[in-house]
Amino acid sequence: MSRGSDDRAIGVFDSGVGGLTVLSELRRRLPDERFVYLGDNARTPYGPRPADEVRAFTLESVAWLLGQDVKLLVLACNTATAHALSAVRGRSAVPVMGVVRPGAVAVTAATRTGHVAVVATAGTVASGAYVDAISEADPTLTVAQQACPDLVPLVEAGELEGRRVEEAVAGYLRELRAADPEVDTLLLGCTHYPLLRPIFQARMGAAVAVVDSAFTTAVAVEDLLDALLARGSAGGRGSVRVATTGPVEAFERVATRLFGTDLPPVEAVDLGSLTAVAADPR
Ligand code: DGL
């Protein structure tokens, strides 16, 4: 380990497979880093769940990640970030980065008209986290939101194109346009939606910027590592571990279908032991 470096891993949490969109951007930008990813597939989706349940599940899951000797934690899940970021920070001895603020940065950088919109899960929309973060970044912006509850199940079923997903996106965007016809920037505020980017882009039209938080989250993580003098020193030979609270085969099947085959063997994390660790956080 050279001076100013830290070879401990970066923990990445998501409710399931969707956070692999964030993990792949992190790996692209930070090839010297070691990553350990946990998907809470046993209890996904988080989007329709009440806030306190999402908070409890997130705290249990990140307790496992914090036990893996990480130097930094990334909540790749928008819903978990929206409901649990401050609670996780309260329990973590290492810095915790969510995806909402980086998403807000992406929006403020892209808009010209000052009218922006966020599509996300029902939970994220209800939390108002994006509206707050965007207003904090630029109080002059007008923010419309739209929950898209049908999209995560469609993506997880492998429907990245076709009539059903086209119609679902079109319906949601119709409501969004009705709420604010001047929107020039659309933020995909859910891990799964970047997989539907071509449909969102086609339906919004070329004049609308369609952005997500994966890139800006990776940039924010890189900045933080630099500020902390905590970069990994592997010389481009970083590594990744992937774990799930759900069935390993199902995770591998969905992840491979959605993201290709670039995955290490997936580890199983027993949900029972995970809840026990969280209940007794010594
Ligand atoms: N990871 C969630 C998010 O980004 C989407 C999937 C879920 O509802 O759990 O909001």
- Name the active-site residue from 116, 129, 133, 190: 190
Query: 49 CB under 6 A from ligand 1?
Result: no
**Residue 235 alpha carbon to ligand 1 centre in Å:** 33
pTM of the model as a whole: 0.95
Q: Residue 216: pLDDT band by 50, 70, 90 thresholds?
A: very high
Ligand 1: atom nearest CA of 82 is: 10
pLDDT in tens, 237-279: 899 999 999 999 999 998 988 887 678 999 999 988 776 555 5
Which ligand 1 atom is nearest residue 19's CA? 1
DSSP symbols for the chain? --TTB--SEEEEEESSSTTHHHHHHHHHH-TT-EEEEEE-TTT---TTS-HHHHHHHHHHHHHHHHTT-EEEEEE--HHHHHHHHHHHHHH-SS-EE-SHHHHHHHHHHH-SSSEEEEEE-HHHHHHTHHHHHHHHH-TT-EEEEEE-TTHHHHHHTT-SSSHHHHHHHHHHHHHHHHH-TT--EEEE-STTGGGGHHHHHHHH-TTSEEEESHHHHHHHHHHHHHHTT-B--SSS--EEEEEESS-HHHHHHHHHHHH-S--PPPEE--HHHHHHHHHS--
Q: Does residue 46's CB lie within 6 angstroms of at least one atom of ligand 1?
A: yes
* Residue of 77, 133, 144, 266 marked active site: 77
pLDDT, residue 276, reads 59
Q: Which atom of ligand 1 lies closest to the CA of 191?
A: 4
190 labelled catalytic = yes
Instruction: Write out pLDDT tens, residues 54-102.
Output: 999 999 999 999 999 999 999 999 999 999 999 999 999 999 999 999 9
Domains and CATH numbers, the chain: 9-98+216-278 (3.40.50.1860), 101-213 (3.40.50.1860)
